[in-house]
Structure 1
Amino acid sequence: MNNKVFCTLVALVLSATLQPAFAQSRQTLKQLDELDRKCEAARDAVLPGIREQLIAECILPPPTRRVRARTLEECERYWNDYGVMQRQRAALDLPECQEAFQARQQHRSRRPPEIPARSRD
C-alpha cells in the first residue's frame, strides 16, 4: 500500500472515531457554562439582599462610645460593591453554585460528569 494512501486512511479513521468525543466534550462544556450562568444569576439575585443587611447592621449604634457611629451614606458607600470583587466567594452556599462547582470538579477529574438533564418545565 502506498504511504500516502495509508496516511490518508489513518487520518480518516481517526477523525471518524474522535469526532464524537469532541462533540461530547463541546456539549459537556456548554452544559458546564450553563450551570455557571445559573450560579451567577442566583448570586446576582441574592447579593442585593446581603448588601442591604450589611448596610443595616453598619448603621446600628456602636457597642461602645469609643467607636464612632456611621451614617447611612458611609455604610452604603462602604458596602455598595460587596460581592463584586469577592464574586467567587460571596454566596457560594447556593444550590446552583454547589451544583456548578461539583460538575466542574467531576469534569476536571476526567471522570464522566454527572450533569443533570435540563428539565422541560
Structure 2
Amino acid sequence: MIPTKKKPVGKSLQKREAPQNQNLSSDDSEEKPGTIPIPLSGNIPSQEEFTQYVKTLENYIPELDYLIKEKYDSWLSNAWKNSYDKPITNWKSSIKNTMPFLQSELQSSNTTSPKIVLQTIKRPKST
C-alpha cells in the first residue's frame, strides 16, 4: 500500500506543475504565478527623486553623480530590474547597497587616468 500512496502524490505534483509551465511559455504581458507584479507608477521614482535620495546618503560625493545617473538609466531600461535580472522592489535599499561599488568604480577610473597622464620619457643627458 505504501507504493500506491506515493504514486498519487507524484501525479498531483505533476498536475500542479503543468499549469505553471504553460504560463511560462505564454505572453510576457500576462502575470505569472509566484511573481510579484511591479506597479510602474508607484515603485519607480523619478530621476529627480532618485538623485535627491542618493544625496542624503552618508557615502555620497558629488563626483558620483554621473555614475548614479547611469545606474538609474540602466535599471530603467531593464524594466526596473537589477543586473541579475531581479525586480527592484526597494529601490532605496538597492541604491544604498550599490553605492560602495559606484565609489570603487570611481576610484579605479581616477587612478588609471593619472598614470597615463604622468608617463613621460626622460632621455639621458649626453656628455
Tell whether the structures are fold-level matches, with TM greater than 0.5: no
| Larger relative contact order, structure 1 or 2 (CA cutoff 8 Å, min sep 6) | 1
